[in-house]
Structure 1
């Protein structure tokens, strides 16, 4: 190889190399991210009747902010590439390809995995290669592909960051939980005002654990008694269709569920 050029014959002159922001990374979890996740877990373990929707939104918002500022680890998995035949006639693997896997979430959607530390990744897959990346970039990459982002999949503390959380983590803006968003609440209320059968309603988090165990937002409807057996199902279909066509609700809510109670 000629001096001053790389293996492809391209000159080194004029190139610049930026410092590796993760040089000396120990592979341990980001302290702030760990603390916010622990605080969120503590809130989940409290009596559900004692915690408020605002407390839940605030605690999860701290986790979203911490994710955007933390270093996380993206897993690379080696997969077989091209195969060939050896001189003895045996089938041999000629190349390997590295890729970031996609997992299937509890609700069937595709999710992108990241990990807080090397130990969590090794427990999940000992063959995975950890690639350090800024949490904001991991959030942006997942959002651009229409994926949710799961942190530490398979562990008891696994958490899933949905669309609105990824947007906040990627941009560094404050997270506003959809179930606590006045604009979202107004969108729900505007539709329900046309249905006198609904006496009261309440907007709450549909997935408090943030594990894709339910819709992001749950609307609890207090329906007047004495309606015919076919009235409520038909009404709910109309209401759900109108909510889905509301641009604020459609953009901010990653899934809306409905629970009906007698008023």
Structure 2
């Protein structure tokens, strides 16, 4: 993945809680010019009061969920559930908003904005990187400033920034990607079931496949892009960017390839027009199989 910083990108506004956090970070005084020295910043009056004693380390539940996933004992849903209550860090950088010339003819920053760092996935979709620790964020982008937020807030920012993916700890020993339906559910603070395990999707597929005698069954399975690998190349059964869902069309013996493709195309068209299916499935691949009986 590569960092995207388009020159002509429209100006976007950060969420208010991030703006408030940045306004107080690193300055010797507040916006009214009052010194921070000797003041108690704890309590409800401080926008960062929920993170007053934050040590910058990873949330224990997220760490355990990722370890379980990598060992084969966990699931993508478990990681999503752990993130629902977790604090993470987003990366922000200063971006020149307006430039002026000094009296000596040199360009100077007249106005600068703070912008969320976004990255582009290999398939062209935008993604928001988030980090479990300050150390991992700074190792990935030395000029970025870490801002602590709850993961659902980060997901909400991703949606508002038109990012379809959340990328957890890019550049670390293991990077977990949360795909679009998971990002949306995290932003809405509701549980997420991956499409390949979702009974609602299985029911939608069943409805779309009725009336074809040559079609024996359609099976749901994880797509080739669900799995991922850690930095050492070890496979992990989750955390990939997609394709997410594999629909395996099983046809009766003797079905011609042309008939199978026509039926499959018709069913795919039905599913593509189904709004619920489109929202629950991030990305799709189709396999055509022939039954031996």
> Which stretches in structure 1 are left out of the alignment for 5+ residues?
8-15, 44-54
Query: Post-superposition shift, 1:227?
Result: 4.0
Q: Say yes or no: does 1:242 pair with 2:270.
A: yes
Match of 2:89 in 1: 73
Match of 1:210 in 2: 239
Match of 1:159 in 2: 176
Secondary structure of the residue that 2:289 maps to in structure 1?
strand
Query: Post-superposition shift, 1:156?
Result: 4.1
Segment of structure 1 superposing worse, 104-113 or 82-91: 82-91
Superposed CA deviations along residues 154-193 of structure 1, whole A, max 9, x for unmatched, are 3342122223323443344333222222221011112222
Superposed CA deviations along residues 178-209 of structure 1, whole A, max 9, x for unmatched, are 22222210111122222223223210122133
Q: Is the 8 A contact 1:64 1:169 kept in 2?
A: yes
Q: Is the 8 A contact 1:202 1:220 kept in 2?
A: yes
TM-score by length of 2: 0.73
Query: Post-superposition shift, 1:146?
Result: 4.3
Query: Post-superposition shift, 1:145?
Result: 4.5
Q: Say yes or no: does 1:200 pair with 2:228.
A: no
The within-5 A match list for 1:25-64 is 25-43=54-72, 59-64=75-80
Secondary structure of the residue that 1:94 maps to in structure 2?
strand
Task: Give the distance between the partners of 2:106 and 2:184, measured in 1 at CA.
Answer: 50
Aligned length: 237
Match of 1:23 in 2: 52
Task: Give the distance between the partners of 2:166 and 2:141, measured in 1 at CA.
Answer: 17
Secondary structure of the residue that 1:166 maps to in structure 2?
helix
Task: Give the distance between the partners of 2:162 and 2:94, measured in 1 at CA.
Answer: 24
Segment of structure 1 superposing worse, 181-190 or 241-250: 241-250
Segment of structure 1 superposing worse, 179-188 or 82-91: 82-91
Task: Give the distance between the partners of 2:158 and 2:133, measured in 1 at CA.
Answer: 19
The within-5 A match list for 1:178-189 is 178-189=195-206
Query: Post-superposition shift, 1:229?
Result: 4.4
TM-score by length of 1: 0.80
Residue 112 (structure 2) aligned to one of 66, 73, 96: 96
Q: Classify 1:92/1:141 alpha carbon distance in 2 versus 1 (closer, same or farther; 3 Å).
A: closer
Task: Give the distance between the partners of 2:160 and 2:115, measured in 1 at CA.
Answer: 17
